[in-house]
Structures are given as C-alpha cells and as structure tokens.
Amino acid sequence: MFAEALAAAEAVMADEEATQEEVDNALAELNSAMDALEEVEEDDTSVQIDIYKELLEAFKRLQKSYDKLLDAFNNIFGN
C-alpha cells in the first residue's frame, strides 16, 4: 500500500501541470499509507527493516519536494 501511494505521489510531484488538489490528494494518500505501516519487531528479518527505512527516507524526500512546491506556489500566487 505504501509503495503504491509513494509511486503515485512521486508521479504527481514530477508532473509540472499537477493541480494543487492533485498534490493535496497524493499527500493525503501517502500520509494515510504511512499511518498504516506497522512497526517492525526486532526479531523480523533485516530485509523488512531496510525496506521500512527506505520507505521512510522516500517519504521525507517527497515531503521536502512538496514543501518546496508549496513555497513556490505561495510565492507566485500569494497565501
């Protein structure tokens, strides 16, 4: 679920013609998918831990991109 939401959000972020509504919806879906992630138990395999860490880093990158896009939008169109 998270991987699909992340891929969809990254596609929206790459789309220079994406609307604010599309960005907001992608971020909401990504936040929902992130909330659905379950904490990895210590006895789980290291592969699961690595995947979780990669997904978390990808989310952080996407959040930074969203913040930059929102700043640019606000600079152009005002608050």
Q: pTM value?
A: 0.51
Which pair of structure tokens corresponds to residue 26? 């992608």
Measured between alpha carbons, how far is 66 from 12 in angstroms, rounded to an integer? 10
Spell out the per-residue pLDDT of the chain, length 79, in tens: 778 888 888 888 888 888 888 888 888 888 888 888 776 566 557 777 778 888 888 888 888 888 888 888 888 887 6
Q: Where are the domains of the chain?
A: 2-77
Measured between alpha carbons, how far is 26 from 7 in angstroms, rounded to an integer? 10
Which pair of structure tokens corresponds to residue 43? 């006895």
